[in-house]
Amino acid sequence: METIKLSDVLALLHKECGKDCILQGISDDSRRVEKNWLFISHKDTYLHQMMHIQEALSKGAVVFCEYALEFENVYVISNIEQVQKEILKFYYGDLCENIKVIGISGTNGKTTTACFLTQILKKEGYKVLRIGTHLVDMNGDKQEIRNTTPDMYILAELFHEALQKQITHVVMEVSSHAIDQKRIGLLRFDLILYTNISSDHLDYHFTQVHYRYTKFKLHQYLKKGGKIIINDDGVYTDELLHVNHKNCIIVGNQSCHVVIDHQKHSKEGVSMQVQGIPFTTSLLGKWNVYNVALCITSCRILGISYEKLQEDVKELNSEKGRMEVICQEPCTAIIDYAHTASSLKEVLSYCKGICSGKLYCIIGCGGNRDKKKRSHMAQIAMIYSNIAFFTADNPRNEKVSSILLDMLEAGGENYMVFENRKYAIKHCFNIAQKNDIIVIAGKGAESTQEIDGVFYPYNDEDFVKELFHKEE
């Protein structure tokens, strides 16, 4: 990246420059800026905005905001929300021109598919930046994040760092929030993968139509000559064909461009054929057939041979907290991140099919999120389990008892209620016998439990190991 001065950016905006400097970075988070950084101040309450501006100025940053303030190094920029993208593009240049960018969207399966695709690309010798739920992995250098898709400023920094480190591929999950809030405004994708589209985040989108429409808008960020790869297992995927038909590749059954058949499932894993080519994997779950097939199709477009892919798929490992078998004695316990009705149904129906004993499910619903899905989630847990255990899962600012009452509107009798998640897991293991399966759903590999704004250390797998005094 060439050296960019403050005067260069101001000239772009037709503004005169006072004291000039070479800009060292750009952020909209006053906690992250340093000397000679540019701080973009978004609209907020006057008090909060002033606090952020003063913090940035105290660190030696330059401030762009919409208020006329009597401070040195503060510039008034009208319509800052509209021009921020142009400022970032001018500062960083084209972040996607010299790198392959693969975006993965869908209601379920984004993280798992990103995990598999990253593994395959790394096995083939490529340097990969992976961005997704709770994780940024810069070719092995990992850091935690809160959102599935970071904001525009963080993404710009990550892509710039990736280019400096000669990363060849970016594999990233793209959430509906990120699309709607234009966090991906600087990016262009070589491949867009849709795992499935069902129903989620109605606390934000309000209607399923708006949720689907938002997901489908991702096609607007496709590079010229890019491809959209769609899992035909979803209910609403046909709608995508009308959005961008000539660039779509459908993966699924006999009528699709890429055909999956001859599936065989067991406790040892899956065998299948993709375009008549046999593949085997130790992964569990029918949905993983589609996740793997999306990855195979993507890699074929990227130039990887079927022969190499057969070996790569055979060696795939499951993502932490995704259909992860954490113990097999005294019974089998599986942890999965399933936190939507559709993903929970898939997990439990699959486990019921391979279970020779009783099936138990431990499940909660997040606080300050879509209340409508709570009773539906509980109903699915009771339909597929011998006993469902309803408990806490990131209650946030709601009372656990209130969330559980919403879940109990499903009716039914084969359930137990524990406000404390640890007690629910402990009691479930006390009654489980050999050949039984316990599915601990909702949190996956999460390392905290969020209660009243505080993130308390907690992990399902760690607690199960603690129960049996197992060491890592």
Q: For 212-225, what is the mean pLDDT? A: 84
Query: What pLDDT is attached to residue 177?
Result: 83
Whether residue 102 contacts residue 191, with contact meaning beta carbons closer than 8 Å, is answered with yes
> Which residue type does 412 have?
G
Report the relative pairing of strands 437-441 and 359-363 from DSSP bridges.
parallel
Q: pLDDT > 70: what percent of the chain?
A: 93
The CATH code of domain 324-467 reads 3.90.190.20
First-to-last alpha carbon distance for the chain, in angstroms, is 44
Report field, pTM of the whole predicted structure over 0.75: yes
* β partners of residue 235: none
Query: What pLDDT is attached to residue 20?
Result: 94
Classify residue 231 as exposed, middle or buried by CB count within 10 Å of its CB (0-12, 13-18, 19+): buried
Distances (CA, A) of 117 to 304, 307, 450: 12, 16, 30
Q: For 184-196, what is the mean pLDDT? A: 93
Q: For 378-398, what is the mean pLDDT? A: 97
pLDDT at 254 over 50: yes
Task: Give how far the C-alpha of residue 144 lies from the chain's centroid of Cα atoms, to the nearest Å.
Answer: 12
> Which residue type does 178 have?
A
Backbone φ and ψ for 80, nearest 5 degrees, come out as -60, -30
Q: What are the pLDDT digits (tens) for 279-319?
A: 999 898 888 999 999 999 999 999 999 999 999 999 999 88
Lowest mean pLDDT among 10-19, 146-155, 451-460: 146-155
Domain boundaries, the chain: 6-92, 100-314, 324-467
Query: What pLDDT is attached to residue 401?
Result: 97
Whether the bond into 278 is cis, omega within 30 of 0: no
Distance from C-alpha of 192 to C-alpha of 189, rounded to nearest angstrom: 6
The CATH architecture of the domain made up of 6-92 is 3-Layer(aba) Sandwich (3.40)
* Secondary structure of the chain as H, E, C letters: CCCCEHHHHHHHCCCCCCCCCECCEEECCCCCCCCCEEEECCCCCHHHHHHHHHHHHHCCCEEEECCCCCCCCEEECCCHHHHHHHHHHHHHCCCCCCCEEEEEECCCCHHHHHHHHHHHHHHCCCCEEEEECCEEEECCEEECCCCCCCCHHHHHHHHHHHHHCCCCEEEEECCHHHHHCCCCCCCCEEEEEECCCCCCCHHHHCCHHHHHHHHHHHHHHEEEEEEEEEECCCCCCHHHHHHCHHHEEEEECCCCCEEEEEEEEECCEEEEEECCEEEEECCCCHHHHHHHHHHHHHHHHCCCCHHHHHHHHHCCCCCCCCCEEEECCCCEEEEECCCCHHHHHHHHHHHHHHCCCCEEEEECCCCCCCCCHHHHHHHHHHHHCCEEEECCCCCECCCHHHHHHHHHCCCCCCEEECCCHHHHHHHHHHHCCCCCEEEEECCCCCCEEEECCEEEECCHHHHHHHHCCCCC
pLDDT band at 208 (very low <50, low <70, confident <90, very high): low
Q: Going by C-beta distance under 8 Å and a sequence separation of 6 or more, which residues neighbour residue 122?
A: 128, 139
Lowest mean pLDDT among 12-16, 338-342, 400-404, 453-457: 338-342
Whether residue 65 contacts residue 49, with contact meaning beta carbons closer than 8 Å, is answered with yes
Distance from C-alpha of 325 to C-alpha of 312, rounded to nearest angstrom: 21
Q: Going by C-beta distance under 8 Å and a sequence separation of 6 or more, which residues neighbour residue 357?
A: 331, 433, 434, 435, 436, 437
Q: Which has more confidence, 198 or 187? A: 187
Query: What pLDDT is attached to residue 205?
Result: 44
Distance from C-alpha of 279 to C-alpha of 323, rounded to nearest angstrom: 20
The CATH code of domain 100-314 reads 3.40.1190.10
Q: What are the pLDDT digits (tens) for 408-446?
A: 999 999 999 999 999 999 999 999 999 999 999 999 989
**What is the rounded average pLDDT for all residues in the chain?**
90
pLDDT at 172 over 60: yes
